[in-house]
Amino acid sequence: DLFDRATVQRLVDRLHRLLTAAIADPDRPIAGIDLLTPTEQRQLTTWSGTPTTPDPRCLHEIFADQATRSPHATALICGDNQISYTELDHRADQLAHALTQRGVRPGVLVGICLDRGIDLITAVLATLKAGGGYTLLDPAFPVERLRATISDAGIPVLIIDPARAAITAGLRLTLVDPTATATGADLGRRATPADVACVMFTSGSTGRPKGVVTPHRALVGTLCGQSYVDFDAGQSWLQCAPVSWDAFALEAFGALLHGGTCVLQPGQAPDAALISDLISRHAITTVHLSASLLNHLIDEHPGTFDGVRQVMTGGEPASVPHLRRLLDRHPGIRIVNGYSPVESTIFTTSHQVTPADTTAATIPVGRPLAGKQVHVLDPRLRPVPVGVPGELYMAGVGLADSYLGQPAHTAERFVANPFGSPGATMYRTGDLVRWRPDGTLDFLGRADHQIKIRGFRIEPAEVAAVLSGHPQVAQAAVVVRADTAGDKQLVGYAVAAAGPVAPDALRRYAADHLPTHLVPAAIVLLDALPLTPTGKLDRAALPAPVRSAGDGRGPRTQREEVLCGLFAELLGLPRVGIDDDFFALGGHSLLATRLVSRVRSALGAEVTIQTLFNHPTAAAMATRLGPASSRPALRRRPVQEENA
């Protein structure tokens, strides 16, 4: 009842090989006995992927070639503005000349702190044309976070709107207006495929974000010569992922390297209602959405995908019921489940989801892309048999070079590749996977405490380090909890150093130093952190946060009553007062998206996610919704259980 015949046969065969080898050489350690037959070894070698000849061009060179082939095609659309390939190429050339005059060359990192828009893409292309590497600094991040990143990365040149220049006060760097222009001789080839194209920062276990140094060849190898989706001039792509994600490059360059159109969603955070509208208005054919955002669109905006041809998802395990509903409604749509950490650019494996996949418990993460390799290994770096969990290592064309300025972490994760050519490296992901009998990979979880929540990679130690930096905190710990089914949240625990400290004050402190996705949903004060008998943090003994709301002022108007009802419904609380903070009560970015959608529907008012972030109480939000609505007030109803 538990196993199919093929699985049992493999287990029996391996036991037979183990016993035979042990009898033949009784002194050999059990760990030294190889359970793989030569046939299985050849099979795993085939499944692991093979190298390919990479494209010898850089990102900006491929874009320039495309601009020559289709000069008048629309490259970018943002709001009411659009720009052709030749116009975008010309603007990027002018800004690139201005950057070279300020010392940008290969190996120089250029920070870009701009709102999502045509200027942002121009700045990225200009940086590459000048020979430099770009790092995108999300303007929505706290000022302290931006300043720390600029300082830690040693960024010498920053492209920034003059209105935001104050955030750089006291930092030694050159500021460049995004509209700056200059002329000069042909820029020529200032970079090679081995030079740095971008540095993307991800959560770090030491409390310091890790800058992943990615060369041109990694991005080009992931976006050119691949077939996991159709890359051609007939595709219209949506760029809605946060600019700090590697998915930004997929959504922007997936269009621009192949003659397609890239539609930029205004605003820094993905907005479900706006995404649905943009897809319909611009006949977008190709989208990439985190699993959580995809699930939300399927639930709340099912008509979003009526004209879409290709959907890529990833960042967290895909929801089988949601993909089944999407395929049932759109039988011809191409759904790709992609997977990779940022250290192996964007996607390393992919799987095209079929109706048969939606009858199983999980969706596989697939096989390696062309030119990329994966190895499922045991602690002695030996390949494991089919069905056996092992740690995943990645190699090949998509691999990053290192962590910026962190040689110890680089040496720990980018290790010698025993399956490659001399000097080759592979990346130790820390992810546990196993081979399926058909040669696809199943994702099983993490081998450490790193987590992903709503597509964001999070090292709890980084958040704990920030909390510990508060002058009134002696110790801090951060864990992920799922006290509500299907809803993971970060929870912080703090021990006061001297005198009382308010949880709300600690949360505000975290919000001043961390991006929104790293701010704990709740902070619990403890007399001491619980420890195991061996002196380690006893995570199982950490108490669940107790959320209280509704003890303050009640609604004074119909609009406030509606908002309080919506807050309570989405947060799973019996009552919410008008001064209760949505995020302090456990709200997060996905719930914020749902709330904005419900507010639009219930009150007929136009509201953005940014409005909620800036005004997270019912009282404050009510003043930002325009004329009062005549709709009846909503009464709280039980939240319907949703599939994870």
| 335 in Cβ contact with 227 (< 8 Å) | no
The pLDDT value given to residue 266: 92
Enter the DSSP assignment of 3: S
N-terminal to C-terminal alpha carbon distance within the chain:
26
| 124 in Cβ contact with 172 (< 8 Å) | no
Please give the average per-residue pLDDT across 607-613, as a whole number. 79
**Helix (H) and strand (E) counts for the chain?**
18, 26
Please give the average per-residue pLDDT across 89-95, as a whole number. 97
Reply yes or no on whether the pLDDT at 555 is more than 70: yes
3-state secondary structure of 478: strand
Confidence band (pLDDT; 50, 70, 90) for 639? very low
| 564 in Cβ contact with 555 (< 8 Å) | yes
CA angle 297, 301, 306 (to 5 degrees): 95
DSSP codes, 86-107: HHHHHHHHHHHHHHHTTT--TT
Q: How many CB atoms lie within 10 A of CB 332?
A: 6
Q: What is the CA radius of gyration of the chain?
A: 26
What is the tens place of the pLDDT at every residue in 247-258?
999 999 999 999
The pLDDT value given to residue 581: 85
Quickly tell me which residue has 């009553």 as its tokens: 561
The pLDDT value given to residue 230: 97
Confidence band (pLDDT; 50, 70, 90) for 122? very high
What is the tens place of the pLDDT at every residue in 420-447?
989 999 999 999 999 999 999 999 887 7
Please give the average per-residue pLDDT across 514-522, as a whole number. 84
The pLDDT value given to residue 205: 59
Residues 60 and 191: their CA atoms lie apart, in Å, by 10
Quickly tell me which residue has 């054919």 as its tokens: 285
The pLDDT value given to residue 629: 42
β-pairing, 133-136 vs 109-113, is parallel
Task: Find which of 106-110, 501-505, 567-571 is predicted with most confidence, using mean pLDDT.
Answer: 106-110
In Å, how far are 114, 458, 472 from 531, measured between CA atoms? 45, 23, 21
What is the tens place of the pLDDT at every residue in 188-228?
889 999 999 999 998 765 667 889 999 999 999 999 999 99
Quickly tell me which residue has 């059990």 as its tokens: 30
Reply yes or no on whether the pLDDT at 397 is more than 60: yes
- pTM listed for this prediction: 0.81
β-pairing, 210-215 vs 174-176, is unpaired
Enter the DSSP assignment of 514: S
The pLDDT value given to residue 643: 38
Max CA distance (Å), the chain: 85
CA angle 270, 275, 279 (to 5 degrees): 150
Give the start-end residues of each E strand in 207-327. 210-215, 236-239, 261-264, 286-290, 310-314
Reply yes or no on whether the pLDDT at 527 is more than 90: no
